[in-house]
Structure 1
Amino acid sequence: MILTSLSLYLYRLPLDRFLPVGKQRIDHRTGLVLQAKATADDEVCDTEKFNIEVADSEVTEGEVKESNVEIAPLSGFDIDQQPLSGFSRESLDEVQQALTTLLPKLQGQHIDSLLEQAEASPYPSIAFGLSLLHAKLSGKLNALRPLTTAVPLIYQPIDAPKAELMAKIAKLDSSVHSVKVKVAQTSMEDELSLIYGILSQRPDLRLRLDANRGFSLEQALDFAACLPLDSIEYIEEPCQQPQENQTLYRAIPLPYAFDESLNDPDYQFVRHEGLTALVIKPMLLGSIEKLQRLIDEAHSHGVRCILSSSLESSLGINDLAHLAAILTPDEIPGLDTLAAFSQDLIVPSGKPQCLKPHQLKLVVSTQQD
């Protein structure tokens, strides 16, 4: 298939309530939508990449396919106008500038050029977006139905009463068996009260705690000593210094997961004592091929891999659900972040308004003569 046009749009979606980014909070989400049209030629595209099987469908020569992907680094500023730290290394401006330069070069090229540019890009969000666009244009994301079950996200909003949070817990469907709880955000006393409050209503639940490197080793030891360990699935990044996670585990057998550690550009998988899972945010890590390599390596050592959102819009969340069904079919992904969004983007999820590309700000567009 040949790329016949590419258009880049900028979006800004206000949030109905603040969303946590580590210990920080945001009140809006900004990002880019890359739209591509491709025309089928008589060549066979590379369908062996990423170990993703293509849906059993034929593409007729001359047929035009159109796909949209979200490219949205988790960067920018919080509600206090402080830079977001610990997530995407690139800024939205850097990504926008790089894509503005790149898109004209992709015009008229075979879609496999998207993979070449994904591997060459120094920006993980671009690498992921381009490889995802290739997968969508190739029909690879049609191979399986998306995973529609999600692990609910539980955190105490600073702009909503605690009673509202407890009501949300009470309304959890009986089919929900795990929830993700943000910790190391407020007082230890309040967070332990929340954990035991959740279990008092639903003692059958397993909790995935997320500390975002919020504890010193001493604080993590104090916190873990008070936890109902039999109900804890794992805790993400408990210690400010990741090398201290093993010390915590040896003292108190609380399994832990890596999240922020994966964002290090030099990260290489090593099996550590107590490490039970990798929480993978594709927008922060890079191409689908890179994700596949990491997942294969972790699985070979018995470590679980769970795809998670970087607070994408409905477009990005829908694609992650499809991707999770292919890359991690035995795990429920962490995609429960859309409730705070005031609007949907391209893919409807039930919001009153769903923005389409023509309603967004056009950044750059190419068109084959």
Structure 2
Amino acid sequence: MIPALTDLLAAAQVVALPMRVRFRGVTEREVVLLRGPRGWAEWAPFPEYGDADAARWLLAAIELGWGELPSPVRSDVGVNATVPAIPASEVAALLSRYDVRRTAKVKVAEAGHGLDEDVARVGEVRRVLGPQARIRVDANGAWSVDDAVRALGALAPWGLEYAEQPCATVEELAALRVRLARNGIDVPIAADESIRRAEDPVRVAREGAADLIVVKVAPLGGVARALEIVAECGLPVVVSSALDTSVGLAAGVRLAAALPQLDHDCGLGTATLLAADVVEEPLVPQGGSISTHRADAAREAVDPGRVAAYGTGAEREQWWRDRLARAHALL
């Protein structure tokens, strides 16, 4: 059931949360909180996304606040640390915020940063975490095939669990896997944007363009739809966040907890990147994992005082309300 637009607008509260460090070009995360009959939900498509993308994110929020989530098959979900494109000198301090540092995802290929900086950053993560830790890198589709071969050849000596979306297109990912094999570079490829922003998210599996997939609840339209895509792809999976508050992260935890098989730590520790959250106790990993119990509790713990403190001005609030109306019209 799709709630009426008037009900969604009445339930909507817009907040702008400061980031600890720039991440994905963002220094302040704007989010619309929606209170539904089944708890708080979150709608936060990035500002540059079009209305069709925003509508899928809205379906995920409606599922969380008005629908039912699948029953979990596990009570705890392992979580990786996330390292933005920061100088190598800042890596140790950032990683110290995580009580267990078993796995780390490191941003690479960010505009304005060279390969030497990426190599230094990943090398420092390896130094801090030690030889047994799993390190994955995420290029957000920024490399050409040639650039990816060169970059992953330079990064592979640090021992990579996988490279997430090194190139933008499915064709490039498929070509890259062949080139890496021919060059003896043993780095598995994970698809992210080629899943969550694709008209045909199963294409990466059908065309042999990835070794595993990264799925995110909001961009795919909800937990149920994400589970369908995972089943259709038939590849190992990592559940990740879309720079969510603790409310949105709770949906990611419930997706990961419902997967029939989960062999990788998930990218659900990004509340650590926020300098403020909408709950008193943010949904950050404890002992390297997040429990479904804590995730469900976070959805009931939104603090009105925090929502008021981080509210946006009238102009931004109206911008989000207008966007909500456009997205709702596409459902």
- If the length of structure 1 is used for normalisation, what is the TM-score? 0.66
In 1, Cα distance between equivalents of 2:92 and 2:236: 30
The match for 1:177 is 102
Structure-2 residue corresponding to 1:239:
167
Q: Deviations over 1:280-300 (max 9, x none)?
A: 12211113332121111122x
Give the structure 2 partner of residue 209 of structure 1.
137
The answer for the alignment partner of 2:191 in structure 1 is: 258
Aligned residues: 281
Structure 2 partner of 1:130: 62
Contact 1:217–1:240 under 8 Å retained in 2: no
Matches within 5 A, 1:33-112: 33-37=33-37, 66-73=38-45, 75-76=46-47, 84=48, 88-90=49-51
Q: Tell me what 1:325 maps to.
A: 257
- Give 1:313's aligned residue: 245
Partner secondary structure for residue 201 of structure 2: coil
CA displacement at 1:356 relative to structure 2: 2.3
Cα deviation for residue 90 of structure 1 reads: 2.6
Structure 1 residue 355: Cα displacement: 3.2
Answer yes or no: is the 8 Å Cα contact 2:190–2:213 preserved in 1.
yes
2:116 match: 189
* Whole-angstrom CA distance in 2 between matches of 1:324 and 1:194: 28
Counterpart residue identity of residue 68, structure 1: W
Residue of structure 2 in register with 1:278 after alignment: 213
The structure with the largest alpha-carbon Rg is 1
2:23 is paired with a residue whose SS is: strand
Q: Which residue of 2 aligns with 1:287?
A: 222
SS at match of 1:35: strand
> Gapped runs of 5+ residues in structure 1?
38-65, 77-83, 96-122, 365-369
Query: Quick one: distance in 2 between partners of 1:231 and 1:168?
Result: 21
The percent of aligned pairs where both chains have the same amino acid is: 21
TM-score in terms of structure 2 length: 0.73
1 or 2, which has the higher helix percentage? 2
2:149 aligns with one of 175, 196, 221: 221
Cα distance in 1 for partners of 2:212, 2:50 equals 23
The answer for unaligned runs of 5 or more in structure 2 is: 182-186, 285-300, 323-331
Q: Which moved more, 1:260-269 or 1:209-218?
A: 260-269
1:219 Cα deviation from its structure 2 partner: 1.2
Asked if 1 retains the 8 angstrom alpha-carbon contact of 2:163 and 2:188, the reply is: yes
Deviation of residue 145 (structure 1)?
A: 6.6
